[in-house]
Amino acid sequence: MAQARRNAVLVLGAEPTGPAAAAGVLRILGMHAPTLEPDSARWVSDLHERLLARANVATDDARPEAWFDAGRMSTQDQHRERVERWLDGLLTGDVDELVIEDAGLPWFLDLWSGAGARLDVDIAYLLMVAPPWQVISHGRDDRSPLGQAISWLNLVLHTERATRSGRRVAVRQADLLEDWTVPIYALGEQWGLRSVVEANARNLRAVHDFVDRTPRPGPSGELLLPEPVQELIHATSAALDRLVEGKDDELLHRELDDLRLAFIDLYEQAAEIADSSVRAAERRLRRAKDRFEKERRELTRDREPGGRPHLLPTRKGGLPWRRRPA
């Protein structure tokens, strides 16, 4: 009997509900989901957080150049070897199908796909698509709607480009929550996922219960954004809808390339407009660092070689000041 192919599905999306729900469905159907287990999830998220910190990139980074900064981490052998060992340790015995989901995953697709290729694991990408206004309306409270809109464009346009050469399926979050059987069975047959196509009745009932309990996003309306951003969001959302419908062809790719380049141009123009503000902030930071260094040097001079503080001049009518040892 031929040995079953080993598969790993990487679930990606700009809104956390969709990827988490999709990974949960595949897990209940029988796929091993290490990122839904506390210890393994911590390993993956810790890895991504460390690499993002070294690259000075945030998970919701709006800068187009952030992809190059994060990409440099994926080319380093020590990180590739760590991911490879981790994957190889999971795909043992009866485990031959994995589903992985994490907020930092889109930034390191080359890292994971490279490790999978060396282990002869078939990597597939499940892109969860949610309405942009829903993502922006329910995003972080500490970011403006405009900032969240730019982050959304950066994430979805570059993730689409990064997954284009691999096996991928795009699924609307609303479709998954409305009737999960249609998109999940379709990708299961397309990718040959045994856990999906051979799912038993008990697992099917468990998935229905899980999806019924999954929180639905609240209502959202369009936000007032600058016209160029509004136009880019509408055009990108329409292109992603066609990707969901299976029109993953050269015509759509060219349109998405044009949208990505238009986004980069828009971001660079905005950066040039804000250049004076950025330079002013850098000057303030340098002055603060200079003050800190000056105070640190003064404290160092006030100490004797043995670490004991000098007696400083006395106050009028009082005892001499002593600095406490650090």
Q: How many CB atoms lie within 10 A of CB 257?
A: 14
By mean pLDDT, which of 64-78, 130-144, 167-181, 198-212 is the weakest?
130-144
Q: Give the whole-number percent of the chain exceeding pLDDT 90.
A: 69
Burial class for 3, CB neighbours closer than 10 Å (0-12, 13-18, 19+): exposed
Q: Which residue has the tokens 């809109």?
A: 149
- According to the model, what pLDDT value does residue 136 have? 86
Burial class for 198, CB neighbours closer than 10 Å (0-12, 13-18, 19+): exposed
Residue 322: pLDDT over 60: no
- According to the model, what pLDDT value does residue 265 have? 97
Tens digit of pLDDT for each residue in 92-132?
A: 888 999 999 999 999 999 999 999 999 999 999 999 999 99
- According to the model, what pLDDT value does residue 243 have? 98
Q: How many CB atoms lie within 10 A of CB 27?
A: 22
Q: Which domains does the chain have, with CATH numbers?
A: 6-216 (3.40.50)
**pLDDT band at residue 1 under the 50/70/90 scheme:** very low
**pLDDT band at residue 157 under the 50/70/90 scheme:** very high
- According to the model, what pLDDT value does residue 278 have? 65
Secondary structure class of 93 (helix, strand, coil): coil
Tens digit of pLDDT for each residue in 224-250?
A: 899 999 999 999 999 999 999 999 999
- According to the model, what pLDDT value does residue 158 have? 98
Tens digit of pLDDT for each residue in 263-319?
A: 999 999 988 876 666 667 777 877 888 787 777 787 777 665 655 555 555 555 555
Residue 139: pLDDT over 70: no
Cα gap 105→41, rounded to integer Å: 12
- According to the model, what pLDDT value does residue 184 have? 98
Residue 193: pLDDT over 60: yes
Residue 223: pLDDT over 50: yes
- According to the model, what pLDDT value does residue 21 have? 96
Mean pLDDT of the chain: 89
Instruction: Give the chain's count of helices (H) and strands (E).
Output: 14, 6
- According to the model, what pLDDT value does residue 217 have? 77
- In sequence order, the β-bridge partners of residue 123 are 8
Give backbone dihedrals phi and psi of 195, rounded to 5 degrees, phi first: -60, -30
